[in-house]
Amino acid sequence: MAFVILGVTGSIAAYKAVELGSLLVKRGVEVHAVLTSDAQRFITPLALKTVSRNPVIGDLYDEEEGWKPAHVRLADEADLLLIAPATANCIAKLAHGLADDALTCIALALRPLAKTLIAPAMNGKMWHHPATRQNVQTLKSRGIEFIGPEEGLLACGYEGLGRLWGVEQIAGRALELLTECPPRS
């Protein structure tokens, strides 16, 4: 069974992660959700725990059974790290190798054969800012794939590029990437 870490960051689009997690589970994927502290201001861990049928990591120091830290175990087992939604802050942390929460630690510790798919969601000005554009290019140069954002009415009231890509399309691309993953050893 394919193993996906669904990383959720602090965007209003975080509520869509519940539907995304549910779609992946219905398609036979084992989903483990990781919520940043900002994401937990938009959705609760319980929602993702219920749809994924797995514990949710909400803090770097959340512990499960066993001796290995949860973020290390997840990084070792994942076939795909899917961050949806991904904020400009998260993208910047990943581009600069910062690891100050469970999600960014997992990203740095991810097994080399695992893939990463990022679905950004943010204000259009933030998406177009030169720092964000450079961070996205840095991550792409490392083999990280992006899906979206799309254009439309944003939660901030502006119209433009910055909306989370459609959940069905994100799930579809994640499933395609999973077929390309070599088996875990």
Q: Which residues are catalytic?
A: 156
The DSSP line for 112-161 is TT-EEEEEE---HHHHHSHHHHHHHHHHHHTT-EE---EEEE-TTS-EEE
Task: Spell out the residues 6+ positions from residue 60 whose beta carbon is closer than 8 angstroms to its own.
Answer: 71, 100, 101, 102, 105
130-141 vs 88-95: helix axis angle to the nearest 10? 50
